[in-house]
Chain A
Amino acid sequence: MTPAKSHPDVSSRGSDTVLLVNGSLLVRTQVAEYLRSCGFRVLETRNSDEALIVLQRSSETIRVVLSGAEQGFALSRWLRAHSPQMRIVLTGTFERAAQAAAELCESGPMAKRPYDPQILIQDIKASLARAQEE
C-alpha cells in the first residue's frame, strides 16, 4: 500500500542507476529517455534540493550524477563531503548533456549508444522551439 505522502523506498538495482538533475523539464525528459533506452534506470530531479533528497533518503547505489552545471556545483560539494566515490558529470548546456548521456551509454548496461546524440540534440531543440510557440 502506498500512503498518500510517505517516502517509499526507491529500491536499488546495483550500479545501473543515473541521478539526473536538470531544471529544464524538456531537456530532462528527453535525456532521461535516451539513457533509459540504453538500459539505465534514471531518477529525474529538477534541482539540487531534490537530488539531495534522493541521495540522503534512498538506499540507491547510484552510478553517476548527471547534472546541469548550475545545480551541480552545490551537489559536488555535498558529494565530496559525503560520497566522494560517486562520480558527477557537470553539463553546462543541453548539447553537453546529450553528449554526456551518449558517453554514459557506451559504458552502460548495453555498452552502446541507442542512437546518435546529434538526433537527441535536434529533438531537444525542436521541443524547446515548439514550447516557445504560442
Chain B
Amino acid sequence: MGTEEQDDLLREALASYAGHEPQPGIEERVLGRVRAPRLARRSGWALALLAAACVVMTMMIPRRETLELSAPQIVAPLPVVVKAQSPRAIEKPDRFPSPAPLTREERTLLALADTNAFAESGDAGITPIQIDAITIPPIGE
C-alpha cells in the first residue's frame, strides 16, 4: 500500500471513527430524562399532600366523635316543686329536745346500773378498808 493509499485509508477510517449516528429520537429521550425528575418531584409533592390530608382526616374523625360525646348537652332544668306546708301541719313537740332512741352505749350503761352489783358484793363479806390516822412526830424530839 502506497503512502497516498495509506493516507486515504486513514482519512476514511478517521471520518467514520466518530461518524456513528445516534438512534432517532435522541432529542426527545434527552428532554424526557431532563423533565422526569421535575415530574417525579411534582407527583411526589402531590402524594405527600394526599398522605397529609389522609392523616388529618383520620385524626379528625375520632376527634369529632369525642367532641360530640363530650359536648355539653343542654337539657332544660327540671322545675323544683316545693310543697308549701301550712303552719298548722307542724306539730309542736311535748318535750324539747325531742326524745331520741337510746344508743347502744346508753343501753349498756343502764343495764349495768340496774344490776346493783356493788351493793350485792358488799353483803358477800368484803370488809371496807380501814386506814389509821397518820401521826407525824415533831423534828428534834
Q: Do A and B bind each other?
A: no
Q: Which residues of A contact B (CB under 8 A)?
A: none
